[in-house]
Structure formats: structure tokens, C-alpha cells
A and B are shown apart, each in its own frame.
Chain A
Amino acid sequence: MIENVQNTNFASKNQAAKTSKAQQQFMDRKIFEAFKINAGSKTAYMPTGHLIKSKGPIGGLAVGIKDTFSDVKNFAGAVKNGKSNDHSLGRMNDLGLKLGGALIAGYLASKKMAPTSKGMEFIGFGAFLASMALWPRLTIDAPIKAKNGFNIRQKYIDNEGRKKEFFQDNQYLPWDLWSNEKINKIADRMHIDKNMKDREEFTKKKMQKIALQGNTEWMLSCGVGVPLMTSMICTAAEKPLELFNIKRAIKKSQKNLELMASGNKSVADYAHEIKDSGLDFTKLKGSADKKAERIFEELDPMKLVKQAKDQDSRHLIEELRYSNSLMDDIRQILTPKYIDSVDDFTTTLLDKVFKGGKVKSVNLLGDTVEKVISSDALKAVVEKANVQDGRNFAEKLLEAMKDAQLPLPTGMGQEEFVSGVTDLIQQNGLGKKSEAEALALLSRNGKAIKALQRKTGKLFEAVNSVFGARAESAATLRHSNFASSVLEQTGIKKNMALLKEIKETSGSGKAFDTLRKFFSKSAGYSDKEYADAFIELAGGKGPKGLLGKKIQSIFGYLDKNSKSTTAMKDALGKLGSETASLEGMPTLKNMYGGGRSGLKNIVSKFMHEARLNFNSTSHRALATLDFEKRVADSAAVKKFVKQKFGTADLADDFIEIARKTIYEGTKSGYSSAERFVKAGKVNMWKEVLDFLYNQPLADSTKKAIAEAAKMQEGAGISSEAKNIISGFNKYRSKVFDALKSSGESIPSKENFLLTGKPITQTLQEASKKLYNNKHWLKIFGIATIVAVAVTTVATFTFGRMKKEQELYEQQSKEDGNVTQ
């Protein structure tokens, strides 16, 4: 049976092959004739095209994303099958634009350092795409729709399911998609005579004209409008993005700290550990020095910083002198020796050979006495002998003991001592590890060190995200916020002319004058007003508004008692305890311990200095206000000057020097002698210092401090302002002591930070920046407004067809007459 089927199959195949060309042609003709007969009964498909309702901005975005995906699909289809249509190919151009834009943003972001600049590249690209879509919609489509009742960007789906813009091609408008009802509604909106003959036709013509004019205006205006709109969006987005990035960096690093402190590892840690499992130094070749260098290269802590390219972290690592200690330890392990642990060996030697350390020695009188040998002396001798040179260690030790004039153990000869020591090493396993063992130890340590470095890196990142001097940290934000607050209080913020003058004046002359006026004015206030000004200068209620709230929450991390500071301390403790597992690396252990140059000390010093830096700047501003208040009472100043210099004539000079010092004095200013000598007269350095920081505060200031102390946090005063005011007195005495003791020599870093940034300098820098920002915004803000206004207003002139309308109306009337 099967055979039969196979036979028939074979036969039919053979048959088919034999089917002549003529037969094939006959079949084709048959099919064609059947089609010809039926052709008359076939009709075209019913049209399925329709207009699409607008989905609003959010719905539109979703549709846009969906359309982009279908563009990708169409692109793949076009490349694969070689089939597409003009519409899809046109949309592929947009696809290319998006891809190219994303690549540009990605590449440029990779070259930027600060997260905000990185983010701005993408925001810029997004804003550009958004502006391209929004510009015509806001400035052209919306006013046209408001006036005429239809959207010139009306979309429709054609019979083949392609989405197109209805008015795109002025000479191809498939009007059958619009119902008469809809057209009439638009005609009503356009105030077209209801009785006009061919009202729909006329409306369509008008719509066509308006759409064409709108589209042309779009092409003419978007070249100017889109870049302007993009830059405005970016300007508005920069500050919130910066705050978001600062907070995100802090929060992220805090989380790492918590993980470190709790001993839990982050996912990233695990990933690294898997990679580090390949850390194997046992196969290294070459001299001990070369090996040490290779190992150090692998474990170099600077690698971490180089990757992060973070100036602050680099600074911290350098301060820790981590690299040196690591190299010392590696060399120590690899250096050829007789015994590994000198401590262990000395203890065992004292115990086993010296039997508790009793030795007989001859004293100065020639008597033989028994005494106890000092373990330190013995240790020194062991260390001296413990340098490998090929000789017997026990013999070397004996020689070293002779050199140090140390006696042998009671009742022991030289030979006995040598054999005793040799036995001791062998029996107790105190000998030096082989080189292979040393390398294995370093491999083990290496893994631990890498983990330690990663954690140190994370710790530094956490410290820097809050206290770092980098462009985006809580401390930097605090500085810029103080400057901005001073600008606001002095009234300069809104005074463009003054801003310009300060910006353009070389030196700090103009800033000095402006500030002096401000402080003198405040000094003239009543106690109540003065207190308000004093508190406001310290920070007042803190930054205001929605962004202000975010800023205040970031300032919270700077607080001494903040959670983040505690987390840092916990993490530091944990790091210290983790070094315990490092075998034979005493120097490195010290680094992570609590030593003077240890990690704990360095990190806390870093945080302290950062706090000191911004607090002193605020304190100095308060001291300036207090100074003006006291100087306002000229009799008191004269009394002080007379008491110090014997004559009140110097009072004016004294005030001038003191004023310059408190307003403008810098690190070098405080230390240059000539600054305090007026016209070759007396040097007033000590007296100025005394007056500024040691003399009692003005009564009004005392009252203001008391007032601030009474105020509840959050009600009229922020916690930062409260801290500043409560620390003011302490600051004064500290700065007085520091400057007095350093005299006129260059002050230490701490003393320099104590003096704070001169308020004139703060004001000048901030004014320049603000003026430039405002100036730029003024030019382009106005340009944007003008561009928007011109584009929008122009749309109201579109669709003027007075003559045609008259013609149509006349026609209607004539036709009406005829029918009547």
C-alpha cells in the first residue's frame, strides 16, 4: 500500500514536471477570465479613514511614545522587506533625530563631572524635543483654535491606517472626513452668515487658508522660538535638579553608611568581591622590591580616587597618607627575615630560654649580681639580628647581645645559648614564613584591603556629599544660600543698576560702600528692629518657598547631631574594627585606628573645618553689624581710643582701620602689619582686634541674642540661625584668642577659617553672578516673550477673505432673488 502511494506521488511529480508551458498559460488565462467576469460585481472597500480626537498633553505624550515604537517597527520592516511608504519614511527621520539627540546627550553627559551638568544634557535634549512639539501648539494652534474653533494640527487615520496631519498638504485635503455638522459649527465660530449659499465650501476654504498660514508661520517662527523655549525650560529646571541631585547623593551615601555600620553589604560589594576573588599574588616573579611594587600597584588606594576624580576624596586620601603605610606593610611582609613576629619571639625567648628573664651580671664594683633583663632591650637586640644575610640567626643574636652588652641567661654558655635559640625556633614554629607563604598572606590581605578601600571610598563619598567643597554638596549650598540671603537683605537683589555697578567696579569699593550703608542703617534701628535685622542676617526663617523647604532639609545634614553625622561615626568605628583581620599589617591598622593621623581624626577634622568655614562667614557678618552699632556711639569709641593711645584724636583713623578689617580683612589682611598703621603713626593691630572681638557687645546685640534664644525653632527662626546666634559669643572669644596668639604671622588653617570669608567678597561674587544671570534672563526672557507675543498675535490676522466672502454673500443674495 505504502509502496503504491509512493509510486503515485512519484508519478504526479513526474507529471507536474512534464506539464507544459502551454498548460500553465491556459490555467493563468482561466483565472484571468474568471476575474474579468466577476470584476463588474466587485466594489471598492468602504472608506475607513476618520479624524482623531486630540488627547491633551499627557495623552499626547503617551501617543507620541507609542508612535515612536511603531516607527521603530516600521523602520525594521522597511530595512527587512524593502517596502514602506512616504509617510513612514518621513517619520523615520524623526526617529533618527531622537536617536542622534539621545546619543549626543549621552556622550556630552559622559564628559561632565557634576551630576547636575550631566542631568542637564538630558534635560536639554528633552526640553528641545518638548519645545519642538509645544512651540507651535501653544503659540499657533491654541490661539487659532480659540478664535476659529478648529485645530490646524488635526490628525486623521487614512484608509490604510496611517496617522497623518489633515492640513499638512495644502493641495490634498480629504474633506469627506469632516461632517457638515462639524464644518457648520466651525462656521458659527467664525461668524459666517448662516444663510450663505455654499456655506460649508466657503468655511473649508477659510480653514484651508488659516491652516496654510499657520503652518507657514510655524516654519518661520520655530527657528527662533524653539531654542528660546528650550533655554527657558532649562533655566527653570537647573535649580530644582541641583537640589534633587544634592539630596539624592547624600541619601544614597547615607544608605551605604548604614549598610557599612550594620555590617550588611550592598549588592555592589558582592559584585566586586566576586571580581576580586581572582586577586592572587602567589605567582608573581622578580625581586622582592618588584613584587612589592606590583602588589602595591594592584592595591593602590589612589586608584579609587582616580576613578572618582573627586578632589575632596583625593585630598582626604592624601591626608591619610594611606599609600605610604600600605607600601611599608607590604615591604615588611616581603623583606627576608629570620622570624616573623619579633614580639612573639621575644616573649617566648624570655620565658623559655631566660626562664623568666633572670640573668647574672657583673656590677661596677665587680660583684656578680642577679637581675631581670628588660624585655625592651631584648626586643631591640632581636630586631637588630632579624635581618637576613645568610648566617645562622642564633649566632647573629649572640653577637648582637654581645654588642649591646647584654648578659647571657644564668648558667648558660655561648654554645648552649645558640642551640637553645635554634631549638626554640624549631619547636615553637617561630621561624620566618617562606616567600610563598608571604605572598599567600598578601593575597588574603589584598582581598580584605580592597573591600576596605571600597568602604573607605563610600565613607569619603558620604562625607563629601555633605561637607565637600565640590560644586554640589550641602556645604556649598549653604555658602551660596548665605550670599543670596545677604543680597536680598541689602536690597541689591532687585536693583539691577546697583548690581551692575558692583559687578563693574574693580576691587570691593562699591560692595563695601553698599554694605556699609546697609549695616549703618540697621545700626540706627530701634532695638526691636535691630533684633529682627540681626536674626535675619543669621539666617532668619531660612530659605523660603517650595525650593526653600528642600534647601532647609539639605541643611539638616550639616548639623553636628544629625543622623548622618552619627552614621558616619558608626561607619568609622566599624571600619576600624574590620582591620583586625589584617595579619601582619600594623601600619595600615594604625591608619584605620584612632591615631592622630588616623582616619577617624581626619574625617572629623574635615567635617569640623567645613562647619567652621560657613559658620564663621555668618558669624563675621553678625560681628560687622554689632561693630556698626557700637561705632554709632562715637563717645564710647573715643573713650576706648583715649584709654589705649592716650589721645582721642586717633578715633577716626581707628574706626576706619577697624571697619576695613572687619569688612574686608582676609587671611593676608589680618597678617599684614601696614594695614594697621595709619599715615606712619602707631600700629593699631592689637587694639583693633581687642575692639572687634574682645570688647563687650552692644546692648542691642545682647538683647537680640536673648530674643533669638527665646524664640522657638521653626517659628520665626530656623535651627541654623539659632545655632549661629547661640555660638556667636564663643566665636568672638575663639577668634580673638586665635588671632592674638598668631600675631601678625600667617595664621594656621583653622585660624584662617575662623576669620570667615569677608562679607564684601561674598557680596561682590554673588552680585556678579546674579547680575549676569539676570542680564541674560532679561535679554532672552524678553526675546521669548516677544517671540511668543508676535507669533500669537499674528494668528489673529489669519483667514482674512473679505472679498471672497462678499462674493459668496452676493451670490447667495442673487440666488435668493431668483428663487423668490
Chain B
Amino acid sequence: MKVSFAQNNNTNIMPSGYIKTQEADDKKYYHDDYILEGIGAKLPNPKRAVYELTTYPKKGLKGSPNSNFYEFLKMGKIPYVVGSAAMIALYCVGVNKYNSGDKLEALKIAKQVGTGVVLYAAGKSLGGKLVKKGVHMTTGIDVDMPYRKIVAQAPEKPGENRDSVDEYHKVFESVDFVNWPILEKFGARHGDCDKYYKKIAKRAGFGEDLNAPGQTMQPRIKSVVTRTYAAKNVVSYLWAALGVALSRQQAVVDFAKNDTFKTLIKNPKQSALKLGSCAKNAVKQLWNGTNKTSGILGKTLMAGTLAATVLGVALSNKDFRAKKHKSVIDPNKPVEEC
């Protein structure tokens, strides 16, 4: 079967050459992959998450030939969610392991583990976001820039129709195969193929008149993305460790002991104040430590994590900016024809 890749904005032609029904019309740019813009693009999408967490395992367990690496990676969230719940359950049931006298202490530990798991996840997410946000602010490169990809599905059974599914990728998710064309399509949509490169080039100090901004900027963007990922992968776990360390401070323990979820919801204003003072005290307690070793470790952990975050952003900026040097070529001099 011949597959047409003709681009025609007026008809709903899929890249695979199949014509879609009218329902596709209400989706903008349905016919092609496109970068997602707007505030909502990066917000968590519960509906999509539920779809991913239910459909992908089903496909995988069935052994569908359409199950791909993207789906496998998406399933990687499952162990985090299930594992965290299992860990909290282990400790909560473990509370009964103790005599009545020790039960309170055990419950305290169970609550600590619960807060620990939550703060681990929060810390990990925050750490990664801080590095990425820092790089975004300093270079203009958003490593999380999302795009929607349409993936054609092979028929799984004889006689089955071909279909397509949406996948939500990131432009820079692979440093080996950055999706440069989509950046250009994005530019084209806004009137200039090189729009994105020009924007970054300007941030990097190359001005606006580069001959081939793509050619100049691609290697620089790639090195920024590589360093950002390397830094993020380590820094996010430092923040996770910081989260767990904070969860073991007396202030957090007391907070978890005195307040239940219900009471927090009832008085949101008071809860916010309490949470604030709890966070402040926890940081203080972590800094001071309960003994000499824990004090030293607490200080090292806090200072080290902050330093690593700043360093991660700073290193990601390395080699990004245009070097200021005197050009030997005079751009104003007319070029001699050979």
C-alpha cells in the first residue's frame, strides 16, 4: 500500500495516508505532531494518567506488537505509586507489632514513614523542577517542552483496521534524537521556521542576524539539555533525601501527630500557618541536629543540596553563550566575487 506524506492543511490526511473521520476536525492540527502550547500543556492531566495506567499495562500483558518503549517508560510510574502505598502499609500494619506502651512510638514511626514517602516524592519532583526551571530562566531552553505525537498502530489481528494513538512526548526527551523538525514546524506555525532557534540565539548573545540559527544553536542546545538531564538526575535525589531528612524532624513529627487530614481541611487558613511554622522549625531542627553527627550531616545535606542545585544550573549554562571576541571578519566589507 502506498503511503502518502503529502501535507495539506485543508484535508484531514494522516501522515500514514489514512483518512480520518469528521470527529478529527474538532482537534486542532490533528493531522500532524505538534508542540503543545499554553499554561495547561504541562499541568498534570488526570484523565490522561488514568488512560495511560490502564491501557498500557493491558497492552503489555497481552503482548501487543504496538506496545512500545514510550508505554514501557510510562508504566514506570506504577511501581512508584504502588510501592509507596505498600511501604506505608507495611509500617501501619507494623504498628500492631508493638506492646501498648510502644504502640504510640510505632505509630509515630509509621506516620514518619508516611510523611517520609510523601516528602521523598515531593523533594524529588521539586529538585528536578528547580534545575529545569533554572535552566529555562537562564537560557530560555525548556527541556520539558511537550509535544503530541500521533503513532500509527499496526493491526493486531487479521482483518483489523489500522488506527492511531496519541503519545505525549517531550521535544528534548532524547539527546540522541532530538526532534528538531518539530521545532521548525512550530516556528512555521508562527511564521518563521527558525523562530525557536532565533529566540535561543538571542538569549545566548548571538544577536538576531545569524545566517543559519539552527546550525549554530543545535549543538549548544544539545549540550545544555545533556547537562541539565545529568544534573537533574542527581540533584532530584538530593532533594528527595532532604525531604526524608525533614520528615524525621520533631516539628514534622508533632505536626503529623496532632493534625489529621480532616482537621487540616476544616481550617485551611490556620493549617497553612501551621504548615509554614512546621516547615520553618523543621529546617531549623535539621540544621542543628539532635547530636553532633546528625547536625553535621543535616548541615551538609542542606547546604550541599542547595549548592548542587545552583551548580547544576550554572554548569548547564556552560558553553552556551557566544564568546565575546573580536571578529577577524568584517561583516561590512563587500565580499569579492571569485
Contact = CB atoms under 8 A, between A and B. Distances in A.
A780 B94 CA distance: 10
27 contacts: A25-B338, A78-B230, A79-B227, A84-B175, A85-B175, A93-B233, A95-B234, A96-B233, A101-B241, A104-B240, A104-B244, A107-B297, A110-B291, A171-B68, A213-B60, A213-B61, A213-B62, A216-B56, A216-B57, A216-B61, A216-B72, A219-B72, A227-B83, A231-B90, A768-B99, A772-B97, A772-B98
Nearest to A765: B99
Contact of B234 (A96, A104, A224): A96
A92 B230 contact: yes
Interface of B: 56-57, 60-65, 67-69, 72, 75-76, 78-83, 85-87, 90, 93-94, 96-99, 124, 174-176, 222-224, 226-227, 229-231, 233-238, 240-241, 244-245, 248, 289-294, 297-298, 301, 315, 318-319, 329, 336, 338
A220 B78 contact: yes
A223 B75 contact: no
- Please indicate which of the listed interface residues A96, A212, A768 has the most CB atoms of chain B within 10 Å of its own CB: A96
Given A773-B97, A780-B93, A220 B57 contact: yes
A169 B318 CA distance: 33
B233 A95 contact: yes
B293 A170 contact: no
Contact of A213 (B63, B240, B336): B63
B86 A776 contact: no
A222 B83 contact: yes
A104 B76 contact: no
Interface in A145-204: 168-172
A813 B234 CA distance: 58
Given A82-B319, A216-B60, A223 B176 contact: no
Nearest to B235: A96
B83 A223 contact: yes
A552 B229 CA distance: 55
- Please indicate which of the listed interface residues A100, A209, A231 has the most CB atoms of chain B within 10 Å of its own CB: A100
A226 interface: yes
Interface in A766-797: 768-769, 772-773, 775-776, 779-780
A99 B237 CA distance: 7
A208 B298 CA distance: 48
Nearest to B76: A219
Contacts of B176: 85-86
A226 B301 CA distance: 27
A93 B127 CA distance: 13
A208 B87 CA distance: 33
B117 to A, nearest CB: 10
A89 interface: yes
Given A86-B174, A107-B298, A219-B79, A170 B229 contact: no
A210 B231 CA distance: 36
Contacts of B229: 78, 84, 89, 92
Contacts of B248: 107-108, 111
A83 interface: yes
A103 interface: yes
Contacts of B291: 110-111, 309
Given A100-B241, A107-B298, A213-B60, A82 B318 contact: yes
A81 B86 CA distance: 41
Contacts, number: 182
B69 A110 contact: no
B63 A212 contact: yes
Contacts of A172: 69
Contacts of B78: 219-220, 223
A171 B69 contact: yes
Contact of A222 (B79, B222, B292, B293): B79
A366 B289 CA distance: 80
A217 interface: yes
A27 to B, nearest CB: 14
Nearest to A90: B233
A103 B234 CA distance: 12
Given A86-B176, A107-B301, A219-B75, A97 B60 contact: no
Nearest to A210: B63
A96 B96 contact: no
A625 to B, nearest CB: 27
A217 B78 CA distance: 11
A119 interface: no
A30 to B, nearest CB: 14
A101 B94 CA distance: 22
Contacts of A25: 338
Interface range on chain A: under 10, 10 to 19, 20 to 34, or 35 or more?
Answer: 35 or more
Contacts of B298: 107
A233 to B, nearest CB: 13
B336 A22 contact: yes
Nearest to A170: B67
A553 to B, nearest CB: 29
Contacts of B75: 216, 219-220
Contacts of A216: 56-57, 60-61, 67, 72, 75
Interface string A97-123: 101110110111011000000000000
A83 B338 CA distance: 39
Nearest to B81: A223
- Please indicate which of the listed interface residues B56, B83, B233, B245 has the most CB atoms of chain A within 10 Å of its own CB: B233
Given A78-B226, A79-B227, A210-B63, A22 B175 contact: no
A227 B64 CA distance: 29
A221 to B, nearest CB: 9
Interface string A428-448: 000000000000000000000
B294 to A, nearest CB: 4
A111 to B, nearest CB: 5
A640 interface: no
A82 B61 contact: no
Contact of A100 (B96, B230, B238): B238
Given A22-B338, A99-B238, A222-B83, A217 B61 contact: yes
Nearest to A88: B230
B237 A110 contact: no
B233 A89 contact: yes
A103 B63 contact: no
Contacts of B234: 75, 92, 95-96, 99
Contact of B230 (A89, A213, A215, A223): A89
Nearest to B298: A107
Nearest to A93: B233
A228 interface: yes
B76 A110 contact: no
B226 A82 contact: yes
Contacts of A231: 90
Nearest to A779: B93
A799 B329 CA distance: 66
B94 A227 contact: no
B224 A82 contact: yes
Nearest to B79: A223
Contacts of B301: 103, 107
A358 B229 CA distance: 99
Given A216-B57, A779-B93, A169 B69 contact: yes
A102 B297 CA distance: 12
A224 B229 CA distance: 29
Rank and list the top 4 A-B pairs by shortest CB-CB distance, nearest first: A223-B82, A216-B60, A82-B223, A100-B237
Contacts of B72: 168-170, 215-216, 219
B180 to A, nearest CB: 16
A798 interface: yes
Contacts of B63: 208-210, 212-213, 798-799
Contacts of A93: 233
B68 A79 contact: no
A169 B174 contact: no
A104 B245 contact: yes
A615 B247 CA distance: 43
A169 B60 CA distance: 12
Contacts of B69: 168-172
Contact of B99 (A85, A215, A226, A769): A769
